[in-house]
Structure 1
Amino acid sequence: MTLDVYLSVFTLMLFSLGINILSLKTRIPYTVLLVIGGSLLVPLSEINALSFVTSFQLTPELLFFVFLPILIFESAYNIKSRNIKENKFAISMLAIVGLLISTFFIGFAGRWAFQLMGFDIPLLVTLLFGAIISATDPVAVLSLFKEYGAPRRLTLIFEGESLFNDGTAFAIFLVFLEIMLHGFHGTTTVLEGLFSFCTMIVGGGLFGLFMGFLFSKLIQWVKGHEHLEITLTLLVAHFTFLLAELISEKLVIDGHHIQFSSIIATLVSSIVMGNYGRYKMSVGVEEYMEKFWGYFAFLANSLVFILMGLLFTSLSISINVAILPILIMILVVVIARAVSIYCSIGVINQITSEESIPLNWQHLLSWGSLRGAIAVIMVMLIPDDLSLPNWNYDFSIKEFITAITIGSIYFTLLVKATTIGKVIRWLNIDTLLPHEQMSYFKSKALIYQSLNARSKELFENQNISELQYKTFTSEYQNLYQQVCKQCVDKTEDSSHVVENMLRIYTLALQKIELKEIFRRDEINESIYKRNLLILETQTERVEQDRPHLGSLNTYFNTWMGKCMQMFQRLSLSSTKLSETQEHYLYYRTQYKLINKVIDELALIKNSPLIEIFDDPKAFQNVENIYQYLKDKTVQQMANEIQSNKDIVDDMNEQSAKALLGISQMDTLKDLHEHEIISSKLYLLLKKEMDHEPT
C-alpha cells in the first residue's frame, strides 16, 4: 500500500508537469487545467493497472501543517512592506471589513435563497460556508494580472488582500465552527467570539513579528553557510505555524483560552523575512530563494488543485441533489463579492488620504476573485460528524459544505479565470502608460535595426545570398519605418516621455550597482536599504509621471522616511557605525551610483541604445540632473572629510583592504573555475589567504 502512495505522488507530479506544458500551449490558466485533470483521474484509476493513481489522498493534517505554510511563505516573502504601508487602508478594509461583509452577506442571503427554493439550511451552516468561500486565492489571478498588464498598484492591492484575508477568514471560520460544536449561548457567545477573533489576529501578528526577527537574526549568525541559511528559511514558515498552533492549544489566561492565528503569524513572519531577513543572507542564497520557494509552491499548488478535482468526483452526495444548492450559492457568492468590494472601497475613497481606487479597478477586483487552496483546507478541517439538531438530510453538513465549496471554486476557475483577460481589456485596464507605449515602439525599432545589422553580417560571411540579403533588408527596413511613424503619430510630448524612459533606465542601473556594492560589503544593511528605498521611490514617481525628488535626501524629510530611520536604529543590525561614519558612507555610495550612471550615459551615445533614447533634449536634461547630483554629493563628502578627516581616512583604508581581499578571492576563484589551478592548489591557496593578516 505504501508503494502505491509513493507511486501516486510521483505520478501526480508527472501529471502536473504535463498539464503545465498544456497550459503554456493553450494559454488556459494552469489551475483551471489542474482541477479538470484531477476530475479525469477518477475514471482513469478504475483501470486495473492505474489503480494506484488515487492512492495518495489529501488529509486535513497534510494540507494544514505541510502545504499551507509553504503557500503562505512563498506569497508573502516577495511582497514589500513599503507597498503594504502605502495601501494599508485599502488592504485592511478589503481583507477584514470586506471579508466580514462577504461572510455575513453569504450567510444571511444564502439562507434566505435556500428557503425560497425549499431547502431548510441552518444559518450557522451558510455562515460557515461564507467564511470558507470569502477568502480569495492569488495564485492564478496574479499571474493573469501580470500577463495582461494590470497596473502595479492594483496588483499589489489584490495581492495584499488575498494574503491577509486568508488569516481573517480562517479566524472567523474557527469562531463559527466553535459555535456549531458547543452551541450558541447569546451575548456570552458573541463576546467570546469577538475576543477570540481579535486575539487570533493581533496575537498572531505579534508572534509572527517575533519569529520573523528571531529567524532573521539566526540567519545573520550563520551567514556564509548556505545550507544552514536555506534550512532556516524553511523552518521559519513551518516552525512559526506549528508554534502558533501549540500556543493556541496550551495558553490559558484568567480562564480564557488565548488563540493565535497560525496563518497570520506565518504571514507576518514571512513578510519580515522578505523585507528584513533577506538582507542578512549570503548573496547566492538570496538569489536562489525565489526559485527554491517558487518550486515548492508550484508543487503544493499542483497537488492541491489536482486532488481538488478528485475530491469533487468522490463526494458521496448525489450531483442531482447538489446541483441546485451549488448554483444558488454561486450566484450569492458573486453578489456578495461585488457588495463587499463596492462598499469597502467606497468608504476607503471617502475617508482616507490614499489615492482613490477607480471604478474600473473595482469591477476587476469584484470579478477577479478566484478561490482555491485555503477554502479546501478549511472544508477538510470540518469534523465528519458535525451536525445540528435541525439537520434532517441524508448527507452530512461537511458533505454539503464540501459540495457547494468545490462547486463555487470550479465556477471561479472555469468561468472567472478564463475571462479575466477579456474583462481587463474591456475595462481598458491594460492601457499602456506613455513611457511604456513609447518603449514598445522604440524597442521594436531597435529590434528591426539589429536584424538589419545581423542580415548584413550573414551576407558578409557568405551565409546568405545577395538576393536573400536584399529581401531581408527591405523587409526589416519597411517594418522599422512603419514603427517609427506609429511612434510619432501616437506619442504626445515625446521629449518628456523619452526623458522618463531614460530616468527609469538609469535608476535600474543604480539598483544593480547598489546591490553589487552591498555584495562586496562596502556598505552595511542600513545604508543599502536607505539607498534602495530612495531608488524604488524615485522609479515609482517617474512611472506615475510625478516630479522627481530634488535630492536623494528629500525622501527622508517625509514622515515615512523618518519612521524608517527610527526603525533602523532599533533594528538588530550587527554593524554599528557612528553618525559620522553613516553619513560619509551614505554620500560615498551615492557618489558611486551617480558616477555609474554618468559613465553609462557616455557609453549610450555610441551604442545601439541611442535608438531608444534618441531625443537630445531629454538626454541632456537627464545628464544635467546627474551632474547636479554629483556636484552636490561631492560637496557633502568634502564637508564630512573636512570635519572628520581621521575617521574618514581610516574608513577609506579599511574599505580598500576589504575590496582588495575580495579581488584576491575573485581572482583565485577564476583561476580554479578555468582549470588553470587544480582543486588541491585552490584549497591550499584559499587556506593561506584566509589566514593572512588584514
Structure 2
Amino acid sequence: MLNVVAIFLSITALLAYLNRRYVGLPPAIGVMAIALVLSLLNMLADVLGFHTLSLLERSLVESVDFSDLLMQGMLSLLLFAGAIHVNLQQLRAYRWQVASLAIVGTALSTAIIGVALWGIASLTGIQLPFLYCLIFGALISPTDPIAVIGILSSVGAPKNVELVMSGESLFNDGVSVVLFSLLMAMLVGAEAPTASGAAMLLLREAGGGALLGGVLGYIIYLMLKSIDSYQEEVLLTLAAVLGGYALAIALEVSGPLAMVVMGLIIGNQGRSHAMSQETERHVDMFWELIDEILNAVLFVLIGLEVILLHFTHTLLGVACMVILLTLFARLLTVGLPIVLFNKLFRLPEGAWAVLTWGGLRGGISVALALSLPAGETRDTIVSLTYLVVVFSILVQGTTVGKLTKRVIRPEK
C-alpha cells in the first residue's frame, strides 16, 4: 500500500509541475487533463501493439479502490477543509438560499435526471432499470467547486456568489450521499420501501450526521479553548476528522454532513474564541495544504481511471444527451429559481448563469458510481458518470471564468 501511495504522489507531483511550468490551467483541472491525455495515449499505444505502459497503468489503477479511498478516507478531509474556511456569519445571511439549493435543488435534480434518463434509455435500447436511473440522478447531482472558486476569485466575482456556490456544494454533497444511501437501501431491500421507512432512514442519516457533527465540533472547540499550542491543536482537528468520520460510519449516520457541521463550528466558533493568531495561521495552512494535495491526487486518479472503462458508439451518444440533461437539470433547479426569486436570493444579475455553468461534477460522483454492485448496469452508470465529470471539469471548468467576466461586473 505504501508503494502505491508513493507512486501516485510522485505522479501527482510531476503532473502538477508540468501543469504549472508548461500548461497553466487551474491546478486541479490541469493535472486531470494531463493524466487523461497520457491515459488516452497509452490506450492508443495499446491498440498499435505497444502493451507495456498500458498494462502498467491498468495494474496501477486497479490496485486502488477509488470508491473506498474517497468515501472512507479523502472525503472527510476534503469536506472539513472546505467547511473550516466558510464564514458562518456570512453564510447565515444566505442560509435559506444555500439550504434551498442544496436540499430542494438536489432532490429535484435527482428526480429530473432520473426520470429523463429512464426515457433516454428506453429510446436508445440501453438496459437501465428505473431505480438505477434515480440512483444516477442522486450521484451526479452534487457539485464540486474546488476549481471554480479559485477562478471566481481571480476574476473578481462578488463574494456572495462565491459564498452561495461553496455553501451549496458543501451541503449538497451530504444531501446527495443521503439520497444515494436511501435509494441503495431500496435497491437491495427485500421488501418494498414505505414512506415512513424512507423518512426514518432520511432522518437518521441526515439528522444523525448533523447532530454528531455538532457534538464533536463543540467537544473539540472546548479542547482547543483549554490549551494554546498549535501542534496539539492541529493534531486535534485531524484526529476529530478521521475519528469522527469513522464514528459516523459505525453509527450509520451521514459522515459528510457530520464533517461539514463540525468544520463550520471549529472554523468559526473555534477560530473566534479558542485559537490564538499563531494557531489559526498554522491550522489554516495545514488544512489548505491537505485540501490542495488531496484534490490534486483525486483529479489525477479521475484522469487515469479512463483506461479501465469501455465505451461503445451508442453509449457515447447517450452520454452526450446525459451531459445536456445534467446541464438542463442544473438550470431548472438552480438557475431558474435565482431568476424567478431574484429579490429573495439577493445575488447580482447574471449570477444564475455562473451558478448553473459553474456547477462542476467531481470525484464524489465517480466514487458513488463505483460503489454500485458489479454488473453490466454498473458499468453503464460508471461510464456515463465518468464522461459527465470529464466534460464538466475540462469544458465548464475552463470557461466559467470567461463567463463570469461577461455576465457579472467585478467587485471594486
Which TM-score applies when normalising by structure 1?
0.55
CA–CA separation in structure 1 for the residues paired with 2:173 and 2:154: 24
The answer to whether residue 390 in structure 2 is matched with residue 410 in structure 1 is: yes
Structure 1 unpaired stretches of 5+: 249-259, 386-395, 437-694
Give 1:343 deviation, angstroms. 4.4
List structure 1 runs of 4+ shifted beyond 4 angstroms: 43-50, 346-350
The answer to whether residue 29 in structure 2 is matched with residue 32 in structure 1 is: yes
The alignment partner of 2:143 has SS state of coil
Residue aligning to 2:350: 360
Residue aligning to 2:329: 336
* Distance change (3 Å), C-alpha of 1:184 and 1:323: farther
Output one character per residue of 1:2-52: Cα deviation in whole Å (capped at 9) or x when no partner.
675254233223223324414xx5442322222222224445595469937
Contact 2:58 / 2:307 at 8 angstroms: preserved in 1? no
CA–CA separation in structure 1 for the residues paired with 2:336 and 2:195: 24
The answer to whether residue 14 in structure 2 is matched with residue 15 in structure 1 is: yes
1:167-182 correspondence to structure 2 within 5 Å: 167-182=174-189
Output one character per residue of 1:404-462: Cα deviation in whole Å (capped at 9) or x when no partner.
111001111121111112211221x1334xxx2xxxxxxxxxxxxxxxxxxxxxxxxxx
Higher relative contact order (Cα pairs below 8 Å, separated by 6+ residues): 2
CA–CA separation in structure 2 for the residues paired with 1:52 and 1:345: 44
Give 1:336 deviation, angstroms. 0.5
Contact 1:41 / 1:54 at 8 angstroms: preserved in 2? no
Give 1:311 deviation, angstroms. 1.4
* Distance change (3 Å), C-alpha of 1:90 and 1:348: farther
CA–CA separation in structure 2 for the residues paired with 1:366 and 1:304: 23
CA–CA separation in structure 1 for the residues paired with 2:326 and 2:15: 29
Match of 1:422 among 399, 402, 412: 402
* Distance change (3 Å), C-alpha of 1:102 and 1:225: same
1:122-141 correspondence to structure 2 within 5 Å: 122-141=129-148
1:316-465 correspondence to structure 2 within 5 Å: 317-345=310-338, 348-349=341-342, 354=344, 356-384=346-374, 396-427=376-407, 429-432=408-411, 436=412
Residue aligning to 2:255: 262
Output one character per residue of 1:539-565: Cα deviation in whole Å (capped at 9) or x when no partner.
xxxxxxxxxxxxxxxxxxxxxxxxxxx
Give 1:301 deviation, angstroms. 0.9
Match of 1:280 among 274, 286, 291: 274
The alignment partner of 2:303 has SS state of helix
Give 1:197 deviation, angstroms. 1.6
Give 1:177 deviation, angstroms. 1.1
Give 1:331 deviation, angstroms. 1.2
Contact 1:110 / 1:126 at 8 angstroms: preserved in 2? yes
* Distance change (3 Å), C-alpha of 1:124 and 1:230: same
Give 1:344 deviation, angstroms. 3.6
CA–CA separation in structure 1 for the residues paired with 2:368 and 2:315: 20
* Distance change (3 Å), C-alpha of 1:243 and 1:88: same
* Distance change (3 Å), C-alpha of 1:178 and 1:424: same
- Which structure would you say has the larger Rg? 1
Give 1:210 deviation, angstroms. 0.6
Residue aligning to 1:238: 242
The answer to whether residue 301 in structure 2 is matched with residue 307 in structure 1 is: yes
Counterpart code for 1:10: L
CA–CA separation in structure 2 for the residues paired with 1:172 and 1:325: 24
Match of 1:115 among 110, 115, 122: 122
Contact 1:135 / 1:371 at 8 angstroms: preserved in 2? yes
The alignment partner of 2:194 has SS state of helix
* Distance change (3 Å), C-alpha of 1:288 and 1:376: same
Match of 1:88 among 84, 95, 104: 95
The alignment partner of 2:374 has SS state of coil
* Distance change (3 Å), C-alpha of 1:173 and 1:147: same
The answer to whether residue 203 in structure 2 is matched with residue 213 in structure 1 is: no
Output one character per residue of 1:366-385: Cα deviation in whole Å (capped at 9) or x when no partner.
11110112212212222325
The alignment partner of 1:276 has SS state of helix
CA–CA separation in structure 2 for the residues paired with 1:313 and 1:50: 10
* Distance change (3 Å), C-alpha of 1:150 and 1:6: closer
Which TM-score applies when normalising by structure 2?
0.90
Structure 2 unpaired stretches of 5+: 44-50
Residue aligning to 1:162: 169
Contact 1:370 / 1:413 at 8 angstroms: preserved in 2? yes
CA–CA separation in structure 1 for the residues paired with 2:2 and 2:247: 32
The answer to whether residue 102 in structure 2 is matched with residue 102 in structure 1 is: no
Output one character per residue of 1:482-540: Cα deviation in whole Å (capped at 9) or x when no partner.
xxxxxxxxxxxxxxxxxxxxxxxxxxxxxxxxxxxxxxxxxxxxxxxxxxxxxxxxxxx
Match of 2:80 among 73, 86, 100: 73
The alignment partner of 1:384 has SS state of coil
Q: CA RMSD in A?
A: 2.4
The alignment partner of 2:64 has SS state of coil
Residue aligning to 1:63: 70
Counterpart code for 2:246: L
Output one character per residue of 1:249-268: Cα deviation in whole Å (capped at 9) or x when no partner.
xxxxxxxxxxx211101110
* Distance change (3 Å), C-alpha of 1:101 and 1:347: farther
Output one character per residue of 1:260-286: Cα deviation in whole Å (capped at 9) or x when no partner.
211101110011000012231343221
CA–CA separation in structure 2 for the residues paired with 1:118 and 1:13: 39
CA–CA separation in structure 2 for the residues paired with 1:105 and 1:49: 38
Residue aligning to 1:687: none
The alignment partner of 2:170 has SS state of helix
The answer to whether residue 264 in structure 2 is matched with residue 271 in structure 1 is: yes
Give 1:349 deviation, angstroms. 4.3
Residue aligning to 2:228: 224
CA–CA separation in structure 2 for the residues paired with 1:54 and 1:287: 41
